Amino acid sequence: MIRNQLLICAGGACITSGEKSVKDVLVEELAKNGIQDEVQIIETGCMGACDLGPIVVVYPEGTFYQKVTPQNAGPIVSEHLVKGRVVSGLLYRQPTSETRAQTREEISFYTLQVKRVLRNCGVIDPLSIEEYIARDGYFGLGKALEIGPDAIIQTIQESGLRGRGGAGFPTGIKWKAARDASGSPKYVVCNGDEGDPGAFMDRSVLEGDPHSVIEAMVIAGFAIGAATGYVYVRAEYPLAIERLEVALTRAREYGFLGRNILGSGFDFDIEIRIGAGAFVCGEETALLRSIEGKRGMPSAKPPFPAQAGLWGKPTLINNVETYANVPPILINGAEWFRSVGTAKSPGTKVFALAGKVQNTGLVEVPMGTTLRELVFDIGGGIPGGKAFKGAQTGGPSGGIITADYLDMPIDFDSVKELGTIMGSGGLIILDEDNCMVDVAKFYLAFTVDESCGKCTPCREGTKQMYQIMERITDGKGTPNDIGKLKTLGRVIQQTSLCGLGQSAPNPVLSTIRFFPDEYRAHIEDRKCPAHACLHLLTYSVVSEKCVGCTACARQCPVQAITGQVKKAHVIDQATCIKCGSCYEVCRFDAILKE
């Protein structure tokens, strides 16, 4: 007889924080106390609050234990489960008061979220199809088979669901185009090549709720008339591949995949295809080439995949998060889906909070939520009392949303007006220590590296832009560099073959637009206001403050600091490697960093 359940977050981040050892300790403690038959341990998918991991939740109470370690996990069994006493030391401490939260419902990181895509992540065992079914799993498929392809597509169209992979294209239109396309066989593809730096919602869905994607793909197959589906997952996500494989096997055993699904006469099966570290494969035409066993190079559209996709056949391709939205829409209807979000971007969006923010992790909120709510209410603000400078969205294809727009509702269209894109939902929070020129250069380096080389504007143009950016951060910029960057950027945007090149200039153009002073400081004053660009940084000794303690001279790895004991020291600028160790070690505030 099971009286308690222990949910342990086995998402990718919690595993790196030691989830496996925590689980081992809990199993051992249960046996030691003789209650292993009364308590069930369930390893779930990602619970979202990655910085609090490893996380253990005790049911039925829902007690939320965070930052559990193998050393402090024991009392969860010996105190909580044996004696009924909550282990208060492991509860989450509310940031604004001395009180501690007992359950997820008391933590603002969770209470402000609306979990639709992540409905099962962190709640069920992703390896158990029974648990998925118990949460209305495959009910949407049942309904889909009943109402037929036209009604399915009509429901998706009415819901207003837009592609969560970045561009926000209406999903229903894609489905209809694939259904209407002539040609056979047709294919259904799931784009799980989540390459945007800082976005990890697709990984979490595949790891935490793989059946939701499988169910949606079967529905899609039925709607467009396909018999084969492919899930394209990156090799960087071995856990997602492993859990997806298990889920596919279970789904076949239960008759949700294979021949004559649920007695409907409809046949459909899914295969996994693996990507191996080429960012451009997230672009749909490139991804299809990769599945075909070719170099993942994009091709011009039209023809769109819906007309000529895999092996030249009509192909429906959607992203993981988009698919995960589909089963609940079929169960609850289009109206339900539109009940949250904005008129033009209904539903929720999963964001990945990362960078300089207190609470990192995955959060799902209605479209139209403001950046302030995301960063400060849910994210808990910026660590160390630093100032919020901006949020980088859309990875290397996006730009910056600045502090001036903290109260703007975020949806596909509002962010586009700011010259950035929603992308797949990565939000990298930047604070006053981040140099915007450096950040833009960093993303440009990424696109230069990942450009497949097929079209000239992307291959050559991004390289030219990068060289100018490098010149600026090296302190060799010229006043007309900004104009050159803008012109070059526009040409690349307008003439590149695929989305990678068309969006590659965005980080640079966006930072020039919102932080022109920073660019000017680099070019005209040869200074980096954020002290991030090493070539523009100098360390010097303020002789009035220096007491000659010699601490800096002893710390300096290249012996660039000289001076007699109890006399002011001097840093030789030619030798200094700008490592900052003198700045760190000085107790008299005598090192000037500028």
Partner 1 sequence: MEPDKKVQSPEKATALSVEDRAFLQEVVERDRVEHHGRVSYMDILFEVEHRYGNFLPGEVLREVARLVGTSVAQLNGFVTFYTMLSTKPRGRHVIRVCTSGPCHVTGAPAVMAELERLLGVGEGETTPDGAFTLEGSSCLGICGVSPALMIDDDAYGNLTPKDLPGILAAVRAGGAQ
User: Minimum distance between the CB of residue 61 and partner 1, rounded to whole angstroms?
Assistant: 26
Backbone φ, ψ for residue 391 (5° rounding): -120, 125
Taking the complex as a whole, how short is the minimal distance between the CB of residue 80 and partner 1, in angstroms? 26
Residue pair 545/516 in contact by the 8 Å Cβ criterion: no
* CB closer to partner 1, 18 vs 333: 18
**Position among 43, 131, 194, 283 found at the interface with partner 1 (CB under 8 A):** 194
Residue 295 in the binding site for partner 1 (CB under 8 A): yes
Q: Residue from 61, 146, 150, 271 that binds partner 1 (CB under 8 A)? A: 271
Nearer to partner 1, 232 or 323 (CB): 232
The residue among 82 and 112 lying less far from partner 1, judged by its C-beta, is 112
Q: Closest distance between partner 1 and the C-beta of residue 353, in Å?
A: 8
Nearest alpha-carbon partner for 40 in 85, 2, 81: 2
Query: To the nearest 10°, the Cα dihedral for 246, 247, 253, 256?
Result: -160
Supply the minimum distance, in Å, between the C-beta of residue 195 and partner 1. 6
Site membership for partner 1, residue 443 (CB under 8 A):
yes
558 touching partner 1, by CB under 8 A: no
Residue among 358, 420, 335, 291 nearest 109 (CA): 358
CA distance 134 to 25: 29
450 lies in the site for partner 1, by CB under 8 A: yes
24-63 mask for partner 1 (x: CB under 8 A)?
--------------------------xx-x----------
Q: How far is 361 from 234, CA to CA, in rounded Å? A: 20
Q: In a 3-state reduction of DSSP, which class is residue 264?
A: coil
Residue 238 found at the interface with partner 1 (CB under 8 A): yes
CB-based contacts of 437, cutoff 8 Å, min separation 6: 469, 472, 473, 511, 515, 518, 519, 522, 528, 533
Of 237, 268, 323, 388, the residue at the interface with partner 1 (CB under 8 A) is 237
The DSSP code sequence of 110-173 is HHT---STTSSTTTS-TT-HHHHHHTTTTHHHHHHHHH-HHHHHHHHHHHT-B-TTTT--BHHH
What is the C-alpha radius of gyration for the chain, rounded to an integer number of angstroms? 27
Site membership for partner 1, residue 361 (CB under 8 A): yes
Strands 400-402 and 388-393, bridge-based pairing: antiparallel
Among 4, 358, 402, 434, binds partner 1 (CB under 8 A): 434
Say whether residue 430 binds partner 1 (CB under 8 A).
Answer: yes
Piece of the chain touching partner 1 by CB under 8 A; list 61-69, 338-346, 360-368, 411-419: 360-368
440 binds partner 1 (CB under 8 A): no
Among 132, 323, 412, 446, binds partner 1 (CB under 8 A): 446
CB 330 within 8 A of CB 155: yes
Segment near partner 1 (CB under 8 A); pick from 134-142, 424-432, 471-479, 560-568 = 424-432
Site for partner 1 contains 17 (CB under 8 A) = yes
Question: Is residue 466 near partner 1 by the rule CB under 8 A?
Answer: no
Residue (43 or 131) nearer to partner 1, CB: 43
∠ CA 128-134-137 to the nearest 5 degrees? 80
Q: Which of 92, 175, 200, 256 binds partner 1 (CB under 8 A)?
A: 200
Q: How far is CA 483 from CA 21, 380, 501, in A?
A: 55, 38, 19
| CA dihedral of residues 165, 370, 103, 354 (deg, nearest 10) | 60
Joined tokens for residue 228: 């084969």
In the three-class reduction of DSSP (H, G, I as helix; E, B as strand; rest coil), residue 256 is classed as: coil
Of the ranges 29-37, 75-83, 107-115, 266-274, which one interacts with partner 1 (CB under 8 A)?
266-274
User: How close are the terminal C-alpha atoms of the chain, in Å?
Assistant: 67
Q: Is 247 in the site for partner 1 (CB under 8 A)?
A: no
Note whether 389 binds partner 1 by CB under 8 A.
no
Binding site for partner 1 (CB under 8 A): 12-13, 15-18, 20, 50-51, 53, 194-200, 203, 234-238, 271, 273-279, 290, 293-297, 352-356, 360-362, 392, 395-396, 426, 428, 430, 434, 439, 442-443, 446, 450, 452
